């Protein structure tokens, strides 16, 4: 097995062009799955029944891009108990700097809105920070490193974060939607784990193909759904 096959560089969401370090960094961000999480935050924002604060929508999307898309995924690479999922194209110091810088930027944006507009968002900020480290670094013997807590942290909480960012409140409807997106996230990680194992064993059989198609449909479908809702709200408020 080649060195590349031991990493995740040949997965479908990794660019097939450009320098290797560029490809690894883009792959490390898991853009389709990051897109799902950002989409959940957008969906939560769109649940606000009255005014949509567009600056807050942009802020919560950027927060999740920085905190999940970059920082959490770098932490996952650093905290892996097995072989490095992305090889050794970046030094540990470089990854720590990237993780720290993106996380500080995300929390700086969040703290600004917490202090001046949406204090309730502080609860989500604390919870997401907790899961970022306990999940990715497998703290407490990996007690929080499982599919259920993945679904909660990156499936349900983003919806509540988006809704709270707009309203500084929580509703039954938002909680119900958060439960649904948690289920979607659970489905994604349940398919992603066996798919990753099959790819690392260099298997490209029918099961691998079905899982890959399922992951593509789930991630792209979620992103398109969120963008559709966003487009409708833009038209309504234009």
User: Does 111 score more than 90 pLDDT?
Assistant: yes
DSSP state of 6: G
Rounded to the nearest 10°, the torsion over CA 133, 138, 144, 149 is 70
Per-residue confidence at 2, pLDDT binned at 50, 70, 90? very low
When divided into structural domains, the chain yields a total of 1
* Structure confidence at residue 59 (pLDDT): 98
Structure tokens at 192: 């992603």
Query: How far is residue 234 from each of residues 51, 52, 230, measured CA to CA in Å?
Result: 11, 9, 6
More confident residue, 82 or 230: 230
Q: What is the CATH number of the domain that holds 152?
A: 1.10.600
- Rounded distance between C-alpha atoms, residue 85 and residue 83, angstroms: 6
| Average pLDDT value for residue range 99-117 | 98
Mean pLDDT of the chain, nearest integer = 92
Read off the pLDDT of residues 70-99 as tens digits, 9 standing for 90 and up: 999 999 988 876 666 787 889 999 999 999
Residue 138 has a CB neighbour count (10 Å cut-off) of 16
- Rounded distance between C-alpha atoms, residue 2 and residue 112, angstroms: 47
Cβ pair 44, 160 in contact under 8 A? yes
User: Does 153 score more than 70 pLDDT?
Assistant: yes
User: Does 25 score more than 90 pLDDT?
Assistant: yes
DSSP state of 5: G
* Structure confidence at residue 237 (pLDDT): 73
Read off the pLDDT of residues 163-173 as tens digits, 9 standing for 90 and up: 999 999 999 99
Read off the pLDDT of residues 31-65 as tens digits, 9 standing for 90 and up: 999 999 999 999 999 999 878 999 999 999 999 99
Which of 46, 171, 58 minimizes the C-alpha distance to 120? 171
Listed in sequence order, the residues at least 6 apart from 171 whose beta carbon sits closer than 8 Å to its beta carbon are 47, 163
Per the structure, the complete domain to which residue 167 belongs is given by 4-237
Which of 60, 39, 57, 71 minimizes the C-alpha distance to 218? 39
Cβ pair 142, 152 in contact under 8 A? no
User: Does 121 score more than 80 pLDDT?
Assistant: yes
* Structure confidence at residue 3 (pLDDT): 46
């Amino acid at each position: 097995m080649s060195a590349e096959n031991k990493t995740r560089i040949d997965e479908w969401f990794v660019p097939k062009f450009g320098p290797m370090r560029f490809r690894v960094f883009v792959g490390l961000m898991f853009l389709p799955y990051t897109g799902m999480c950002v989409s959940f935050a957008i969906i939560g924002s769109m649940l606000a029944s009255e005014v949509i604060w567009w600056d807050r929508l942009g802020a919560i999307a950027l927060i999740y891009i920085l905190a999940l898309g970059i920082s959490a995924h770098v932490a996952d690479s650093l905290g892996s108990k097995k072989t490095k999922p992305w090889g050794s194209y970046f030094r540990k110091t470089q990854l720590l700097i990237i993780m720290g810088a993106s996380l500080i930027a995300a929390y700086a944006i969040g703290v600004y809105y917490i202090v001046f507009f949406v204090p309730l968002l502080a609860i989500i900020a604390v919870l997401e920070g907790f899961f970022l480290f306990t999940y990715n670094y497998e703290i407490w013997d990996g007690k929080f490193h499982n599919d259920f807590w993945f679904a909660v942290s990156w499936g349900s909480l983003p919806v509540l974060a988006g809704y709270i960012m707009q309203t500084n409140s929580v509703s039954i409807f938002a909680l119900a939607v958060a439960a649904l997106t948690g289920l979607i996230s659970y489905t994604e990680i349940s398919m992603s784990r066996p798919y990753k194992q099959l790819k690392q064993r260099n298997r490209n059989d029918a099961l691998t193909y079905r899982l890959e198609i399922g992951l593509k449909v789930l991630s792209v479908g979620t992103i398109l759904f969120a963008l559709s809702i966003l487009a409708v709200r833009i038209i309504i408020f234009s």
